[in-house]
Amino acid sequence: MNGYTAPIQDMRFLLEAVVGLDEVRALPGYGEATPDLLEAVLEEAGKLASQVLAPLNQPGDRQGSRIENGVVRTPEGWAAAYAKFVQGGWPSVPFDAEHGGQGLPWAIHTPLSEMWSSANLAFSLCPMLSVGAAEVLAVHGTEAQKSLYLAPLVEGRWTGTMNLTEPQAGSDLGQIRTRAVREGGCYRITGQKIFITYGDHDIAENIVHLVLARLPDAPAGVRGISLFIVPKRTVGTDGTLGAHNDLRCVSLERKMGIHASPTCVMAYGDQGGAVGYLVGEENRGLEYMFTMMNNERLGVGIQGIAVAERAYQLARAYARQRVQGRDDAAAGREPVPIIRHPDVRRMLMTMRALTEAARALAYQTAILLDRARRHPDEAERRHSQSLVDFLTPVVKSWSTDVACEVASLGVQIHGGMGFVEDLGAAQLFRDARITPIYEGTNGIQARDLVGRKLLREGGETARRLEAEIGALDAKLAQTGGEDMAAIRHGLANGARALAEATGWLLDAAKTDPLAPAAGATHYQTLVGIVAGGWMMARAALAAAEGEKSASDGNFLAAKRATARFYADKILPQSSALLAVIQTGAASTMALAEEQF
């Protein structure tokens, strides 16, 4: 697999010229996020990603994690790479200084997460989960819990996990059976959890498991779930590590991809019960865990963008050097690099445009998240948070669908060499496929988007997003040129399709509850495509402005050309998605169960 080069120029362009990092710098506590600091952070992160993490990606996939004498061993080089990751202070970037963090915006943490995931998706899962665990404790933990657990998590000395799924309880967490019994100032946890990423490993001195469990007297369903801290090694009141807790990794899953990431079956309480500590109040665990799940859903969306970027880089390099066939536009009959062929260009441009659009939308969501947390005006915080809530399932689902499409196109560009493992395109395709599944399948994200975010609030946030997209039309109209006219036309058509789909779903739900559910995934894709077009149009405007004075005209011209391709070839899909949504649920539900 060819090396990875972080797209730092693209990341800086988005942050500085498109999504408005300067507005975040003006928020309380973020004044140190200067342009110079951003440049330094991105450059150093890019070096770690390309020089340390990326070289381990393919060997780690081949070797995988394994269990030896009851201990999970990560692939060769993993522990040393994690030590460098911690020494660089990377786990602490988005956390407050009071917990040992660097206090930088999530908008800066987001491209760093993309780099780790592009370089080595299997490695990146561990720090991503640790960030989510620390976030839960920072928001919901007691002062004593924060004192004991936050600093080691923020520093990276300890790692974190989320323990939700059980053999009989996948997405329906109301069916979990793991038990928690009160015992003095703690609880005894017994049960089994599956699909626990980095549930055990050998790269850090302790693991902080966040475990959902049910008390004996808890109400049935999701209202009876509580959340517990269950450390791999017990922790004294002074923070010192004690004995191994009553928990173990029973086995590792044999997976389609991300082989180096240990996906564990965890057993709690073989010797009478693992010691656990309640987070917040009893029976409110799922509510608290959503803090972590929403964090992880954005993180998984970034993973999708990251895999797409790596697949694009790999396919681009191959297309430049693979000589096959003649140039249809030239008189000569000499074979040429396949990047000259229109169909290969079609695939490369699709890969590029989708990746850039998804990245821009994710970075915009990170900006909104910073505003929701730090803006001094309460109304602005609420406004930003509502958009974050609406866009989170879109970033998670659309970006990961993009990952699968882009990685598949990468295999196609490689031809037969893409189907074998040697060049790495196959690994990226395999790795990408988990991203639409974990942290809530994309179908569940669609159900959340339409059921909770659209119908429950009567389309208020959807209309607000549509208004922001529509407000760009005047700026596009003022910018001359054929490209900008085409971009304006494509975005306007997409915006009309989105507005019509929103209205149709709101009306249909009044008489047919199945219609919104049947159209939810198509609506989610529609939002992603149109919102992606909105971001690409903003990038084109920023590029047009920059071309007046910037020295790097090729980079900015490529931005404009990619946005034009998106408007010409991708935004028209919005009309078809609208038509599908408006067919309702009848044909989807036409067959009886026994007819399948």
pLDDT at 148: 97
Per CATH, is 8-140 categorized as 3.10.20.30? no
Q: What is the pTM of this model?
A: 0.97
Pairing of strands 158-163, 206-214: parallel
Maximal CA-CA distance, the chain: 85
Distance from C-alpha of 343 to C-alpha of 325, rounded to nearest angstrom: 12
Mean pLDDT of the 360-389 span: 97
Known catalytic membership, residue 439 = yes
Segment (H or E) for 403? helix 378-414
CA atoms 314, 317, 321, 327: torsion sign = positive
Contact 234, 242 (CB under 8 A): yes
Of 10-19, 253-262, 285-294, least confident by mean pLDDT is 285-294
Tokens of 387: 């958009």
pLDDT-derived band at 331 (thresholds 50, 70, 90) equals confident
Asked whether residue 547 carries a pLDDT value surpassing 90, the answer given is: no
- Give the DSSP letter string of 469-495: HHHHHHHHHHS-SHHHHHHHHHHHHHH
Residue 326, beta-bridge partner list: 335
Contact 192, 265 (CB under 8 A): yes
Distance from C-alpha of 323 to C-alpha of 340, rounded to nearest angstrom: 10
Q: Which residue has the tokens 């003022």?
A: 478
Q: Please, what is the Cα angle at 391 between 390 and 396, to 5 degrees?
A: 125
pLDDT at 568: 98
Length of the chain: 596
pLDDT-derived band at 501 (thresholds 50, 70, 90) equals very high
**Catalytic, out of 356, 439, 460, 593:** 439
pLDDT at 550: 67
CA torsion, ordered 422, 428, 434, 439, to nearest 10 deg: 140
Helices and strands counted in the chain (H then E) = 20, 14
Mean pLDDT of the 188-216 span: 97
Asked whether residue 551 carries a pLDDT value surpassing 70, the answer given is: no
pLDDT at 328: 83
Mean pLDDT of the 485-499 span: 98
Asked whether residue 512 carries a pLDDT value surpassing 70, the answer given is: yes
CA atoms 240, 243, 247, 248: torsion sign = positive
Tokens of 456: 């429950």
Domain 158-283 - what CATH class?
Answer: mainly beta
Which residue type occupies 268? Answer: Y
Distance from C-alpha of 311 to C-alpha of 306, rounded to nearest angstrom: 9
Is residue 514 classed exposed, middle or buried when 0-12, 13-18 and 19+ CB atoms within 10 A define those classes?
A: middle
Residue 211, beta-bridge partner list: 163, 228
pLDDT at 259: 98
- Alpha carbon distances (Å) from 336 to 330, 428, 501: 10, 27, 45
Name the CA radius of gyration of the chain, rounded.
24
pLDDT at 447: 96
Tokens of 197: 């990423």
Distance from C-alpha of 315 to C-alpha of 312, rounded to nearest angstrom: 5
pLDDT at 293: 87
Distance from C-alpha of 309 to C-alpha of 54, rounded to nearest angstrom: 13
Average pLDDT of every residue of the chain: 96
Distance from C-alpha of 534 to C-alpha of 540, rounded to nearest angstrom: 10
Q: Is 136 helix (H, G, I), strand (E, B) or coil?
A: helix
pLDDT-derived band at 172 (thresholds 50, 70, 90) equals confident
Distance from C-alpha of 201 to C-alpha of 297, rounded to nearest angstrom: 23
Q: Is 299 helix (H, G, I), strand (E, B) or coil?
A: helix
Q: Which residue has the tokens 């408006």?
A: 582
Tokens of 346: 């079609």
Of 28-32, 288-292, 424-428, least confident by mean pLDDT is 288-292
Asked whether residue 342 carries a pLDDT value surpassing 90, the answer given is: yes
pLDDT-derived band at 539 (thresholds 50, 70, 90) equals very high
pLDDT at 247: 98
Asked whether residue 479 carries a pLDDT value surpassing 70, the answer given is: yes
Number of Cα atoms under 13 Å in the Cβ half of residue 557: 4
Contact 24, 363 (CB under 8 A): no
Q: Which residue has the tokens 């049935």?
A: 220
